[in-house]
Every structure is written in structure tokens, then in C-alpha cells.
Structure 1
Amino acid sequence: MPRSGLRVKSPDLLVAESGADREGHGLQRTIGPFQLVCFGIGAIVGTGIFVGLSDTVAEAGPAVIVSFLLAALTCVFTAFSFAELGGAIPVSGSSYSYAYATLGERAAFLVGWCLLLEYGVSVSAVSIGWGQYLNELLENTVGWHIPAALADAPGHGGVVNVPAVIVMLLAAALLVRGVRESARATAAMAVIKVGILVLFCAIAFTAYDAGNLSPFAPEGIGGIGAGASLAFFSFIGFDAISTAGEEVKNPRRNIPLAILITIGCVALLYCLVSVAALGAMPWEQVGGKPAALSLIVNHATGSAFGSSVIAVGAVVAIASVVLAVMYGQTRILMSMSRDGLVPGVFERISPKTSTPVANTWIVSLVFAVPAAVVPLDVVLDMTVIGTLAVMAVVNICVIALRRSRPGLPRRFRVPLYPVAPLLGVAFCLYLMYGLPLVTWLQFAVFLLAGALVYTLYGRRRSRLATGGEDGKDGEDGEDGDASEPVTPRARG
């Protein structure tokens, strides 16, 4: 029998437990392929390009284009892995569930713990960026801005970031109404923000000067690598598509398709934006500046009207990321709760809206705290290292699942296997290497805390270990081998 931390949960059991017809209280399959692609774009395009571009430029200079390509390449290899796993195991748990099916319960819990950084902490980072463009919009339209004390974190001239809290609460209010309404809102916002970025490129190219791209790499290879680590934040969120596995029509086909289309569209868009931005304005004047896209449009047009349009797009874009990423976090916690590894409140589904209402409000309130009082750069680095760690594990999961379940139906298979997933791991580790030492130390403490929580709470309450629904029927879970399919008990 496997040790408690090594017990795995078979893909068959994961899929069986995720059935949407569980006594009428399950999640409903209402998301089509177009909405799913829009959801993916909605989860990605936001703070990273509208706010984080200037920080990436400060590290890499005009070579930020290469930094974006490196980050995109990392995501492409990992996207292949997500596409295969999302089609083979179409459940809401995403990388947490994939780790549970391949690497064991302890690894799965730590992946879920790291997903608190990718989804929970990142939604805090995204919300912080929302306030910057909201202020830009207010100044350009009504000549008023939110006082710094209420728009910035302590240490950055403020006391509490009120706009960040407001956008999170608004997103939670929409999410609890129902996934259909949320998907429609996300699709509409995705179309708007892509249109705004295309408009930005059209305006910026009118002021294009090739001389602004020279010298191309003023900070050398080190600057490109550091820029790629920051640029990666701009791509975070594409894996949120896989968290919708239980609410997608024909998930085995549509999840892999949506992941690959989303990454391709976003990578192309980001490269166009970075070329247009740095061709229009010297990188020294862009690096480190807040609301950089608005600044560039003002420079190109000589008026504030264009920047007002960009600010509108940024406000919409970042709000849609908050919505999509918060959705992903609630579904991850729901899957962990279903397994008994976190409290049962996170898996309760409202029979009226078919959404995890309590889960959604808890997530919004808890992560509103760092959004209100923590500077953007702090939460950004922790989000990046946590996400890269998870993505490295997902690439390993593909290899492990190919070995343990070679006959499992897969609508998509990773090309150039096993080279592609191994390259995915290598690129993730390379980008992690570019992060500051203090971020590594913070991440190590975070992982130790997660291991402690699993040991004291999750290990003994695991439903896979106990064979029960309340986590109290067994002792140490030494008999928790789920290598064979098991019929799940119904839950109300």
C-alpha cells in the first residue's frame, strides 16, 4: 500500500466525481468554444501588458520583444501539456487534479497551495493595477483623481488601495450570479480589450522610429532573462481554461483547442504591442512609468484623447482578468474541498445559481487584503515564481500519466514527446532563476507552510484516505490506493 502522501487518485475517479448531474446541485455545462477562448484571453490580457510592460522594458530595453518571445515559448511548451491533460482529465481542479492523478496526494496539495499564488495572489496584483488606469481615466475625463492615500499601498504614498478592493467585490458579485452570465461578460470584455490593443498598435505605428530600437539590448543577456521573468506575468492565466472543465461543452475537444488558440493569439498580440510601443517612444522614457500605454499614445497623438481610450480598455481588460482568475481560484478550492484537503465550505454549490457562493465570497474577501495594502512588485514576483513552479510540475505530470495510463483516451497529444515537456520544465526553471533571491526565500517559506498545513489537516481528512465523505472515517490513510476506479458517493 502506498504511503499517505503518495496515494494517487485515478483519472477515472476524478472524472466520475466531477459529474454535473449530482442530485441537481452540480455545475452545469454551459460554456461553448468561443466563450472558452474569450475566457482564456480574458484571464491573460490585463495588468501584465497594460501595467507591467513598463517594468519589463526597464529590465530589457528594446529587447523586451525577445523577453516576451521567451515567456511565450515557455507557455507554448506548457500549453501543450495542459492541452493533453485537460482533454484527458476534464475536471475543475486543473494542475491540482493532474498532480493528484500522477504524482500523489502530497504533491497535489502543494500544487494546489502554489495555485493560491497563481490565482489568489495574482488577482490581488491585477486589482492593484486596475486602480492606476482608473485614475488615468478619471483625470482625462472629469479632471479628478482618487487621492493617493486611497489609491496606493503603504510605502508607495498610500494607506489603502480602495479601487483594488472594489473591483474584486464587483467580480465576486457577478460570479455568484451564475457562470453563464460571467462567461458572457468575460467574452464581451475580451473583445473590447483586444480591440483597444489593436487600436493602440495602429496609433503607435504612426510615430514609429526604428532608431528607438537601438541599442537593442542595452542590459545584455541578463536583462533579457530578467525581463522574460517579468514578461511571463503577462501570460499567466491561460491555464484557467482548464479550471472550467466541468462547465464546458465537449471538454475533451474544446479545452485543448481553446488553450492553443488563446496562447497563439495572445503571443502575437503582445509582440505587436511591444514593437509598436518601443518604436514610438525611446525605451528610457517608457521604463518604470505607470500607465505606459497611455503615455505612448499621448506622445504619438499630442493629445490626451487617445490615452483616455487606452485607459477605458485597461479598466475593462483588468476587470475581466479579475473575473476570470477569481473564477479559477474558486474552482481549484472546490476540487480540493471535494477531496477533503480543505474545509467543506469551499465545495458547496448553490442549487439556485449552480455556483460556489460561499467559496467565491471567501476568496474575494481574503485576497482583497493584500490587494489593499501590499505593493504591486511584491505580489507580482510571488505570483510568477508560484506559477512557474506549477507549470514545471504540469510538464512532469504529462510524462508520468503517459507512463501510468498509456491507454487513457486523449483528444490531443503533446508533439515531440518527451522533448517538449522536458523543454517546458527547463524554460520554467530558467525563468525562475531570473527572479530575486528574496522571492526564492519567500517561496521556500510559503512551501514549508503548505507542507505543514497538509501534515496537520489535509493528510488525515483526505477522503481518498478515509473512504468517507467527512474525513473522519479513517485514521492515517495507509489504505488509500485509488489506482482502480471507484464509484463516488453522491453529495448533496
Structure 2
Amino acid sequence: MEKGAVLAKSLTLRQVVFVGLAWMTPMIFFTVYGVAFEASGGLLVPAYLVAFLAIFFTAYSYGMMAKAYPIAGSAYTYTKKAVNPQMGFLVGWALLLDYIFSPIIACLTFGIFLNAQFPAIPVPVWIIGINIILAIVNIVGIKSVARISGFSVLLQIAFIVLLCALVIKDIVGGGGTLVSASTFLHPDMSLSTIFAGAAIICFCFLGFDAITTTAEETINPTKTIPKAIFIIVCIAAALYLSVSYFTKIAYPNFSFHHPDTASMELIKLIGGNLLNAIFIAVLVVAIFTQGVSSVTSVSRFLYALGKEAILPRKVFASIHPRFQTPVLNIVIVSVISLISLFISLDTAVTFVSFGALTAFTFVNISVIAHYYVRNRQRSFGQTFRYLIFPLIGAGFIGWLLTLLSKQTLMLGLVWLSIGFVYLFLRKKLSTNSSRERGSEEIA
């Protein structure tokens, strides 16, 4: 690795949007359909609306912070710069759960759905195979990621539009109505259940935040990244709500045997084996590109931590002179992703949700700290933009965070405790080294 090698600045707005949507993966709606359905008590539409509202305010805060600090690092960088370095580290440590487990989920879902379609080939074979391919594609470079992402996103959107058209046909053909309040309200509806579902569903919106890690590879990032964030969130919300709304009207009593493959049962109900075959093909492409994009994001996040010397600089901040990508980080992420051989899908999703929701909370707080407190931007309009909006975002996300399962919260706190110990030991070693150098100079 050459010392002077840097990340190539080449991504346009369109490419950043495609990378973000590919990381988010519109088809993620189907991979977590069963888990989200159970968590929300079957009321996916209100749960997705709550999640969208929470994410919307947080997306606004991400846009504001991307303007202030257009560098890789995401919530870690924003909290470090706006609040303080120690808090920034702990937020970054929490965010590692999000970024590290996202490629794991991609590998795991790839294995689960391919094994369901081709039972003769074991899940571990699919997982190991996709893991190797993801590493190779990422090593080649960011432009290859953007090109693959564009094709995948368009394919996924086309499938979801086709699916909605078929469901609408079933509704109209059966004499039903396309307007129904039952998708939002139900006699047995529980607000706590809807919000608990929204806490899990937030996972489906992850991706808009990940594009902030590509800031150093984006042309004019102070304008491009905020625009891309809002485009991504709005497209995702429209797709998720459309599928949830129309399937609830058409199949109000739908049930399934296993949450991991619930979407396959739904697809067969809508269009039989032919639609299911198309679904599997599109899903394979979608999971693949989500895996590619998530490896891109976590490798860039580790690069940011390496540049700051939070992690060993020689390993994590190194850039390959030929490919201009953090090759060592990509290899490390690929090795860690083999955890997908031993973990369940719902456990991986909750880990991602804990890391993401923690980071989201502090990005909202960072907007207040940077703009309203430090820069004293406190006019009437600025008070709404830099205090009220981020407070709503932080409150919404913080509440959703408390609704995660006790086991998830406990394991998340254990992870944060490990990070705190690492930070303490690192600071102590740094202080001792400084003292030793000072003693040598005096001698």
C-alpha cells in the first residue's frame, strides 16, 4: 500500500442515489417481511408510516451534518466534531454494529432464499460463495459498485411496481375497493405494538445514512449528499407503503409458517410459481448488490476510524495504490461476515437496529450542538431547523430504541461497555506513551 494513495472522487448524484438505494435494497421489504409482520401485529402500514416519520427528521439532520462535515465517518464524525471526541467514539462503536451486521444479513438472506429454492445446496455454500464475490467486486473499485447498483435498483423497483399492479388487479377483480381505513386502523390495534414494529422496520430505511461514508468519493459532497439522502428516503417510503397497503387490502387474513420465508408464501399467493421464480431472481440480484454496497460502507467507515487513529492506522487507513480502495478493510469485513454461518436473521436485524437507532439519535443531537449551540444560529426559522426538527427526530428515534427487545438492549449495552473499556485503555496507553517521551526528552 502506498502512503500517498487516496480515495478517488468520482461519484455523481445519480450514482450516490443508486448506491444508497442498493445498500437500502427496496427488496429488503420482503427479506424482513415476516419479522416485521410479527413485530407490528400485522399492521405494517401504520408501522411503516411511524418509521418513515422518524427517519424523515433524522434524514434532515444527516443532510445538515453532511453539509457541515463532508467527510467519511457518518454519525461518528458528526458526533465527534459537534459534541466531543469521546461521545463520538462511542457512537461510532455503536454504528459498527449496524455496518458490520449489514453484510452479514446480506450473506444470510442470500443463503436462506437460495437454499429454499435449491434445497440440495446447503446454506453455508451459498453464504461462503457470495462472501467471496462481494469482496472481489469491492476491491475492484467504487465505480463498479455504482454501475451494479444502478441496474439492481431499477430491477427491484420494476418488480415492486409489477407486484402492486397484480395485487390491484386482484382487488378490483374481486369487487373490492382500493381505499380502506382498515390498513391504518383496527379494533385490536395497539400503539405499543405498532411502535415496536416501527423500531424493527427502521432497518428497511438504512442506506441513506451509509452514503455519508462515500463523501470523500463524491463530487461536490456538500450539495450532493443531502439531496441524495432525501431522494432515497422518499423513494423507499413510497415503495414500502404501496406494497404494505395493497397487500393488506387484498389479503387481510394472510398468515405464514415461518417468518424468514414469509414473503415467498405471499408471492406465491399473489402470482403462483411463475411470479415466485421472478421474485427469487430479482431478490438474488438485490441481496447481492445490498451486500456489495454494505461492504463498501463498512470498509469506508473503518477507513475513517483508521485515519483518526481510533483503530490501527497502518491497517485500517491504508489504500491500495492500483484499485484506490481500502483492500485490507474489505478482507477484514469479509472474514467477519462469516458469522452469518452461525447467527439467525432476526438476531442480526435487531443488532443492526440497535446500532442504527443509537447513531440516529446522536446525529440529531449533533445538529443542535453544531448549529444552534456552537454557531448560535437562533433566528425564528433557524430555531425550527436546528433545534425543533432535530429534537423531534431525536425523541422519535430514542423512543423507538427503547422498544427493542430487552435482550437486544442488553447485548447492545454490553457492546458499548466493551467500546468504553477500549477507549479507556487506549487513552491510558496514549497518556503513558506521552509521559515516556517527555521523560526521555528531559533526560
Q: Residue in 1 aligned with 2:441? A: none
Note if 1:205 corresponds to 2:168.
yes
Structure 2 contact 26–236 (Cα < 8 Å) conserved? no
Matched ranges for 1:23-102 at <5 A:
25-45=5-25, 48-102=28-82
TM-score for both structures, normalised by structure 1: 0.80
Q: 1:205 to 1:54 in 2, by over 3 A?
A: farther
How far the C-alpha of 1:46 sits from its partner, in A, is 5.1
Q: 1:44 to 1:309 in 2, by over 3 A?
A: same
Q: 2:65 & 2:428 partners in 1: Cα distance?
A: 25
Structure 2 contact 357–401 (Cα < 8 Å) conserved? yes
Which shifted more, 215-224 or 240-249?
215-224
More helix by share: 2
How far the C-alpha of 1:178 sits from its partner, in A, is 1.0
TM-score for both structures, normalised by structure 2: 0.89
Equivalent of residue 135 in structure 2, options 160, 172, 184:
172
Matched ranges for 1:57-456 at <5 A:
57-136=37-116, 139=117, 144-146=118-120, 150-151=122-123, 161-208=124-171, 209=176, 213=183, 216=186, 218-286=188-256, 288-301=258-271, 303-344=272-313, 345-369=315-339, 371-403=340-372, 405-406=374-375, 416-456=385-425
Q: 1:230 & 1:282 partners in 2: Cα distance?
A: 21
Q: Deviations over 1:191-213 (max 9, x none)?
A: 11121111221122222356885
Structure 1 contact 350–357 (Cα < 8 Å) conserved? yes
Q: Helix, strand or coil for the counterpart of 2:43?
A: helix
Q: Helix, strand or coil for the counterpart of 2:217?
A: coil
How far the C-alpha of 1:449 sits from its partner, in A, is 0.4
Q: Helix, strand or coil for the counterpart of 1:164?
A: helix
Note if 1:474 corresponds to 2:437.
no
> Structure 1: which amino acid aligns with 2:236?
V
Q: 5+ residue gaps in structure 2?
A: 438-443
Q: 2:190 & 2:436 partners in 1: Cα distance?
A: 54
Q: 2:285 & 2:56 partners in 1: Cα distance?
A: 26
Q: 1:327 & 1:240 partners in 2: Cα distance?
A: 9
How far the C-alpha of 1:460 sits from its partner, in A, is 4.4
> Structure 1: which amino acid aligns with 2:300?
R
Structure 2 contact 33–259 (Cα < 8 Å) conserved? no
Structure 1 contact 87–253 (Cα < 8 Å) conserved? yes
**How many aligned positions are there?**
424
> Structure 1: which amino acid aligns with 2:295?
M
Q: 1:244 to 1:214 in 2, by over 3 A?
A: closer
Q: Helix, strand or coil for the counterpart of 1:226?
A: helix
Q: Deviations over 1:300-326 (max 9, x none)?
A: 23x300111111111111111111111
Q: 1:116 to 1:250 in 2, by over 3 A?
A: same
Q: 5+ residue gaps in structure 1?
A: 1-21, 152-160, 466-471, 478-492
Q: Deviations over 1:8-47 (max 9, x none)?
A: xxxxxxxxxxxxxx97511111101100111111111256
Q: Deviations over 1:164-222 (max 9, x none)?
A: 33323211110110111111111221111121111221122222356885973645222
Structure 1 contact 44–236 (Cα < 8 Å) conserved? yes
Q: 1:243 & 1:199 partners in 2: Cα distance?
A: 33
Structure 1 segments, 4+ long, off by >4 Å, are 209-215, 458-461
Q: Deviations over 1:340-370 (max 9, x none)?
A: 110120110011010010111111111322x
Q: 1:55 to 1:23 in 2, by over 3 A?
A: closer
How far the C-alpha of 1:225 sits from its partner, in A, is 1.5
Identity over aligned pairs, percent: 26
Q: 1:317 & 1:217 partners in 2: Cα distance?
A: 37
Structure 2 contact 26–153 (Cα < 8 Å) conserved? no
> Structure 2: which amino acid aligns with 1:189?
S
How far the C-alpha of 1:337 sits from its partner, in A, is 0.8
Q: 1:304 to 1:115 in 2, by over 3 A?
A: same
Please report the RMSD computed on the Cα atoms of aligned residues, expressed in angstroms: 2.5
Q: Deviations over 1:275-305 (max 9, x none)?
A: 122223234414854433332232123x300
Q: Helix, strand or coil for the counterpart of 2:282?
A: helix
> Structure 1: which amino acid aligns with 2:392?
L
